[in-house]
């Protein structure tokens, strides 16, 4: 059976791919999830992008998940006279209150408490960490420092304050408005930027539950973006509270020592794998392909390394949003993933056992591993598939939790996630190795197998393991069975 890569691919939507035809082309090239970046645009543009994605999903006849990243409290420089400033090593730079700069080398910020929260010895990083200023003096309405790493900064560029405890909330008012729109309009996952504690995730989930469509269960998952040192310190609690995690290497790579970045990435993936939560590796994966038809060797190795580590998803940002070669980039990432997965399958590395997570409130459990029974059934299905050399495990699930359990067990057999609920089928597009199938009319197991055969996921004579949860269709129950495709 010809199948897509088991490691899922996320592509960011932007001007380079904003047509149904281009989106379909990307789906056919290997995209499983489209990302809408709420830092660029407003609700009108989000709605237009979502409509294009849903039309492309329909034309491609494949469930596609949509991840919308909340902007969070991004700190930026204010306006600089002339638009830019050359920061020379050894020169002094002053950060002042207010919105206008009275003289050269005095900079303002969109983050009002900046002067209050910086102290002597702190570092201010600008231009994605390329320019660094160490604070040497603090006054009532300013802080002053010396440039230790030179470069050119421009108006509205981002600021990072590694090691500085910030008072700003991770959820800004615009983020709350966007989250409410997202849960009411069928967004499958929300990326929570600059999250620092598990309590912040609970706060966002309360907002989603309160504003979800009346009479429906919560269908929007929360992806915690690990971007701050505090998030790394609270990693296990954050992973436990979230529905997935993103290794957001843009800001994280600036906030932590660059020498530790690789170690931190591996640790985040390890914790997510142990707790059974999907994990995404993002930022600069194939960045050179924004303007080149081929990646650098280092980028190809970076993608392969994420696959070897067991990431569920790998993400493209500017490469597809504004790049010159979005389709070629996706095809390249897909090829790297496929080749790496072949090698990874040969290795017999010991994996830490998945830890099932339990929650009392049914509003909060939809996207989580559900119970010891469900995990045991999934483990049995994987063992049976290995023993019988089955070509596929077909998981019939109403919520997608059965498929999530299977995904975290990394079976060598193909996993087909079948659901009569469209939202569940879409969510499964994020899960490692799961081919989602939406079957609203399926009445029994035979219907599921027949559709899988029709789509050429399985072939006549192959052994297939069926794993079924409760309430998928009338009289269905927790069961594992092996059949031969007729």
Which entry of 7, 108, 220, 283 is annotated as an active-site residue?
A: 283
Computed from CA positions of residues 115, 118, 119, 122, in that sequence, does the dihedral angle turn out positive or negative? negative
> Which of 57, 72, 65 minimizes the C-alpha distance to 20?
57
Listing from the earlier edge strand, what are the strands of the sheet with 414-419? 434-438, 414-419, 392-396, 463-468, 479-484
Q: Can 35 be counted among the known catalytic residues?
A: yes
Return all residues near 132 (Cβ < 8 A) that are at least 6 apart.
123, 124, 125, 126, 147, 148, 149
Strands 84-87 vs 151-154: parallel, antiparallel or unpaired: antiparallel
Which entry of 8, 12, 35, 123 is annotated as an active-site residue?
A: 35
Burial of residue 436 (CB within 10 Å: 0-12, 13-18, 19+) is buried
Which entry of 3, 54, 76, 453 is annotated as an active-site residue?
A: 76
The answer to whether the beta carbons of residues 393 and 415 sit under 8 Å apart is yes
Q: Can 205 be counted among the known catalytic residues?
A: no
User: What is the C-alpha to C-alpha distance for residues 206 and 199, in angstroms, rounded to an integer?
Assistant: 11
User: What is the C-alpha to C-alpha distance for residues 353 and 63, in angstroms, rounded to an integer?
Assistant: 29
Return all residues near 387 (Cβ < 8 A) that are at least 6 apart.
none
Q: Can 283 be counted among the known catalytic residues?
A: yes
Which entry of 123, 225, 277, 426 is annotated as an active-site residue?
A: 225
Q: How far apart are the first and last CA of the chain?
A: 16
SS3 call for 253:
helix
Catalytic residues: 35, 76, 225, 283
């Amino acid at each position: 059976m010809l199948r897509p890569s088991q490691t899922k691919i996320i592509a960011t939507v932007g001007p380079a791919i904003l047509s149904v035809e281009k989106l379909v082309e990307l789906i056919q090239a290997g995209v499983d999830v489209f990302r809408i970046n709420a830092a660029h645009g407003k609700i009108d543009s989000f709605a237009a992008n979502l409509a294009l994605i849903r039309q492309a999903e329909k034309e491609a006849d494949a469930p596609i998940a949509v991840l919308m990243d909340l902007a969070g409290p991004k700190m930026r420089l204010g306006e600089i006279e002339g638009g830019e400033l050359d920061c020379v090593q050894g020169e002094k730079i002053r950060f002042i209150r207010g919105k206008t700069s009275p003289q050269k080398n005095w900079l303002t910020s969109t983050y009002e408490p900046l002067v209050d929260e910086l102290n002597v010895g702190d570092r201010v990083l600008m231009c994605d960490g390329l320019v660094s200023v160490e604070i040497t003096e603090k006054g009532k309405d300013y802080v002053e420092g010396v440039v230790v790493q030179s470069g050119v900064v421009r108006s509205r560029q981002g600021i990072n304050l590694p090691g500085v405890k910030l008072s700003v909330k991770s959820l800004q008012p615009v983020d709350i408005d966007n989250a409410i729109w997202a849960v009411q309009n069928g967004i499958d996952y929300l990326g929570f930027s600059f999250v620092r504690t598990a309590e912040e995730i609970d706060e966002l989930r309360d907002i989603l539950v309160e504003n979800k469509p009346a009479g429906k269960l919560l269908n929007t998952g929360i992806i915690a973006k690990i971007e701050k040192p505090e998030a790394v310190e609270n990693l296990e609690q954050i992973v436990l509270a979230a529905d997935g995690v993103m290794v957001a290497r843009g800001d994280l790579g600036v906030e932590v020592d660059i020498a530790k970045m690789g170690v931190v990435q591996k640790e985040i993936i390890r914790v997510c794998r142990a707790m059974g939560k999907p994990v995404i590796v993002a930022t600069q994966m194939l960045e050179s392909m924004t303007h080149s038809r081929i990646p650098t060797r280092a980028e190809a190795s970076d993608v392969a390394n994420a696959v070897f580590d067991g990431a569920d998803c790998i993400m493209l940002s500017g490469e597809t949003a504004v790049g010159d070669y979005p389709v070629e980039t996706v095809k390249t990432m897909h090829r790297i993933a496929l080749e790496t997965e072949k090698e990874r399958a040969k290795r017999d590395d010991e994996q830490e056992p998945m830890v099932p997570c339990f929650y009392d409130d049914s509003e909060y459990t939809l996207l989580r591993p559900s119970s010891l029974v469900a995990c045991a059934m999934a483990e049995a299905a994987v063992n049976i598939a290995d023993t019988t050399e089955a070509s596929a495990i077909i998981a019939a699930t109403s919520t997608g939790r059965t498929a999530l359990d299977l995904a975290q067990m990394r079976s060598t057999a193909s996993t087909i996630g079948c659901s009569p609920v469209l939202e569940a089928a879409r969510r499964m597009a994020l899960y490692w190795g799961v081919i989602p199938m939406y079957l609203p009319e399926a009445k029994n197991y035979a219907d599921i197998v027949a559709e899988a055969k029709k789509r050429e996921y399985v072939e006549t004579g192959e052994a297939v393991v069926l794993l079924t949860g409760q309430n998928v269709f009338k009289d269905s129950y927790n069961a594992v069975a092996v059949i031969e495709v007729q």
